């Protein structure tokens, strides 16, 4: 079977891309990671820089990636090579595609562990294993869940298998179908939790924590974390959005879709913050409790709520689904590259990728038990995967994308793909040429400490 002569698959429905891209964006990044890193870096100032990065860097980069994908009709590597070739420039730029593909894969290697936490907590909710009434008890439950590599490995393996099954089914029957009903349910769940938070006593403090932007309280490292998270949460520079864009029908508006995805993603993150921090403050927990934050706090809220078990079950169902609609997007670049270039069927490509992924993710999973001491510079393997992707690969990959779009490619390419009016196009060009690259560089260089020598 040769796929090269056939036109590339496209999303079936009018909403296909929007749902899939929103499904990719909205995930553990919003509900698990955003609250805990916001807690770690002290709240308001972090949130402000994060929001600024979404607007000044995330939105322009997302438009660029979708346009590159649709123009090049291929995996990041192939699409970039084609589009660059069209402008008569060298193929070294396709390294950007390689890095993006690798980045998506590495993210997934630790993401399945966190998704595994979500699935295991769903199971605990169903089987009554979350009966604790204090922060200490919840912390102990979280710790015990991590302590056994067999238990934790079971759940992350389950997520890996589920991801590969969906991806193996294909773009329309697998990815598009699964996202169309999972997304609305999650929003309803978050609204219920916020409603609970409003009455739980910690709401005012939570709002102050998230939105009082006292300038000067954010470290350089915090700024880089905020920038990295803007990429992470929008699924940028990791192949996902670019590859999804390669299935986008020619008539769809890239700018409008981008704005919808970014808005939905931001709203869900802020909603998650407003749902989680009241519980944290009402129970006297520390906001900087790290990656276990939502798993140690939210179950307490469910315990105290009327019908809490039911809501808890619904919540972890939704969180697990949100994780899956993101995880499938992280390997789509690799699977699409393998099917287009190596003559593999989709199924073979998916399972092959899945096996390698399983090996790397198992190492990440072991960071929480037997491999807790396998550290390098104070970080275990799970932390390294997160650190390398969010603080290095995504900012640098994003920088490459905007420089490519702003200075290297022919201007017709984006004029045609984006189809913006002259004024909006000028604004986009100004962003990718100056605002986004300078923003990335300043934050990145500052965090490396070069400005302070």
Residues in the interface with ligand PFF (CB under 6 A) total 17
> From residue 350 to residue 389, what is the string marking binding to ligand PFF with x (rule CB under 6 A)?
----------------------------------------
Question: In degrees to the nearest 10, what's the CA dihedral of 143, 149, 152, 157?
Answer: 160
Of residues 313 through 332, those in contact with ligand PFF by CB under 6 A are 326, 329-330
User: Does residue 25 interact with Na ion by CB under 5 A?
Assistant: yes
Q: Is 436 in the site for ligand PFF (CB under 6 A)?
A: no
Question: Per rule CB under 5 A, is residue 233 in the interface with Na ion?
Answer: yes
Under rule CB under 5 A, residue 258 binds Na ion: no
Which residues, other chains included, contact 25 with Cβ-Cβ below 8 Å and sequence gap of 6+?
233, 234, 235, 261, 262, 264, 265, 326
CB of 150 to ligand PFF, least distance (A): 26
How is residue 410 written in tokens?
A: 């022919």
CB of 29 to ligand PFF, least distance (A): 2
DSSP one-letter code for 305: S
3-state SS, residue 251: coil
d(CA 86, CA 409): 8
Closer of 24 and 367 to ligand PFF (Cβ): 24
Binding segment (CB under 5 A) for Na ion, from list 7-15, 230-238, 276-284, 383-391: 230-238
CA dihedral sign, ordered 325, 40, 196, 54: negative
- Output the six-digit token pair for 48: 């402000």
Output 120 or 326, the one with its CB closest to ligand PFF: 326
Is residue 27 near ligand PFF by the rule CB under 6 A?
Answer: yes
Binder of residue 238, out of ligand PFF, Na ion, none (CB less than 5 to 8 A by kind): ligand PFF
Please give the DSSP secondary-structure letter assigned to residue 373.
Answer: T
Note whether 225 binds ligand PFF by CB under 6 A.
no
The nearest distance, CB 410 to ligand PFF, in angstroms, is 27
For Na ion, which is the closer residue by CB, 265 or 386? 265
**In terms of Cα–Cα distance, which of 23, 298, 36, 300 is closest to 186?**
23
Residues numbered 136 to 195 that lie near ligand PFF (CB under 6 A) are none
Which residue has 């880089």 as its token pair?
A: 224
Residue 76's binding partner out of Na ion, ligand PFF, none, with CB under 5 to 8 Å set by partner kind: none
In the list 19, 20, 21, 25, the residue contacting ligand PFF (rule: CB under 6 A) is: 25
User: Which residues ranging from 401 to 420 are in contact with ligand PFF (CB under 6 A)?
Assistant: none
d(CA 374, CA 343): 38
| Residue 148 to residue 142: CA distance in whole angstroms | 11
CB of 27 to ligand PFF, least distance (A): 3
Kindly write out the interface string for residues 91-110 of this chain, putting x where it contacts ligand PFF by CB under 6 A and - elsewhere.
Answer: -------------x--x---
- Does residue 420 come out as left (phi exceeding 0), alpha (psi in the -120 to 50 range) or beta? beta
Residue with smaller CB distance to ligand PFF, 283 or 327:
327
In b/e form, how buried is each residue of 110-144, taking b as 16+ CB within 10 angstroms?
A: bbbbbbbbbbbbbbbbeeeebebeebebbbebbee
Which x/- pattern, by CB under 6 A, does the window 240-279 give for ligand PFF? x---------------------------------------
The verdict on 38 binding ligand PFF (CB under 6 A) reads no
Nearer to ligand PFF, 83 or 323 (CB): 323
Q: Which does 230 bind (CB under 5 to 8 A by kind): ligand PFF, Na ion, none?
A: none
65 interacts with, out of ligand PFF, Na ion, none, CB within 5 to 8 A per kind: none
Place of tokens 């510079």: 377
CA distances from 75 to 22, 26, 233, 246, 409 (A): 19, 22, 20, 7, 18
Q: Is 29 in the site for Na ion (CB under 5 A)?
A: yes
Do 334 and 74 form a contact (C-beta atoms < 8 A)? no
Alpha-carbon Rg for the chain in angstroms: 21
Of 235, 283, 325, 390, which one interacts with ligand PFF (CB under 6 A)? Answer: 235
Q: Which does residue 200 touch among Na ion, ligand PFF, none (CB within 5 to 8 A, set by kind)?
A: none
CB 371 within 8 A of CB 113: no
* CA–CA–CA angle 157, 163, 168 (5° rounding): 125
Distance CA 53, CA 441 (A): 12
CB of 224 to Na ion, least distance (A): 18
| Phi, psi angles (nearest 5°) of residue 380 | -85, 180
At its nearest, how many Å lie between ligand PFF and the CB of residue 98?
15
325 binds Na ion (CB under 5 A): no
**Any contact of residue 29 with ligand PFF (CB under 6 A)?**
yes
* Closer residue to ligand PFF (CB): 94 or 326: 326
Residues interacting with ligand PFF, by CB under 6 A? 24-25, 27-30, 104, 107, 232-233, 235, 238-240, 326, 329-330
């Amino acid at each position: 079977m040769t796929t090269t002569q056939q036109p590339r698959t496209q999303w079936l429905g009018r909403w296909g891309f929007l749902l899939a891209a929103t499904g990719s964006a909205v995930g553990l990044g919003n509900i698990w990671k955003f609250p805990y890193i916001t807690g770690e870096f002290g709240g308001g100032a972090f949130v402000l820089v994060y929001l600024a990065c979404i607007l000044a860097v995330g939105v322009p980069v997302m438009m660029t990636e979708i346009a590159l994908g649709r123009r090049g009709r291929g995996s990041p590597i192939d699409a970039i090579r084609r589009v660059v070739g069209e402008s008569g420039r060298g193929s070294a730029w396709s390294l950007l595609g390689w890095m993006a593909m690798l980045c998506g894969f590495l993210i997934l290697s630790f993401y399945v562990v966190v998704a595994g936490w979500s699935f295991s907590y769903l199971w605990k909710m169903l089987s009554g294993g979350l009966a604790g009434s204090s922060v200490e008890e919840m912390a102990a439950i979280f710790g015990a869940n991590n302590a056994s590599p067999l238990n934790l490995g079971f759940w992350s393996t389950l997520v890996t298998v589920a991801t590969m099954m969906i991806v193996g089914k294909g773009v329309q029957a697998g990815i598009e179908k699964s996202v169309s009903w999972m997304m609305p349910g999650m929003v309803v769940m978050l609204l219920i939790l916020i409603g609970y938070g409003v009455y739980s006593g910690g709401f005012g403090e939570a709002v102050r924590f998230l939105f009082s932007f006292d300038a000067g309280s954010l470290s350089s490292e915090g700024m880089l974390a905020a920038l990295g998270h803007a990429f992470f949460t929008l699924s940028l520079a990791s192949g996902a959005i670019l590859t999804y864009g390669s299935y986008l029908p020619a008539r769809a508006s890239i700018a409008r879709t981008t704005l919808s995805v970014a808005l939905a993603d931001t709203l869900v993150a802020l909603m998650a913050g407003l749902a989680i921090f009241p519980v944290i403050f009402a129970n006297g927990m520390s906001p900087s409790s790290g990656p276990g934050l939502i798993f140690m706090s939210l179950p307490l809220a469910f315990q105290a709520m009327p019908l809490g078990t039911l809501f808890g079950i619904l919540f972890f169902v939704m969180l697990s689904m949100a994780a899956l609609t993101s995880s499938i997007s992280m390997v789509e670049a690799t699977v699409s590259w393998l099917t287009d270039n190596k003559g593999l069927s989709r199924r073979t490509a998916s399972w092959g990728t899945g096996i390698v992924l399983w090996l790397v993710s198992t190492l990440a999973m072991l960071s929480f038990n037997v491999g807790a001491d396998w550290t390098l510079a104070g970080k275990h393997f799970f932390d390294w995967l997160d650190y390398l992707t969010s603080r290095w690969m995504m900012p640098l990959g994003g920088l490459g994308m905007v420089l490519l779009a702003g200075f290297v490619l022919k201007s017709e390419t984006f004029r045609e793909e984006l189809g913006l009016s002259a004024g909006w196009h000028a604004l986009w060009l100004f962003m990718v040429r100056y605002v986004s690259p300078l923003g990335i560089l300043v934050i990145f260089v500052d965090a490396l400490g070069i400005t302070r020598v």
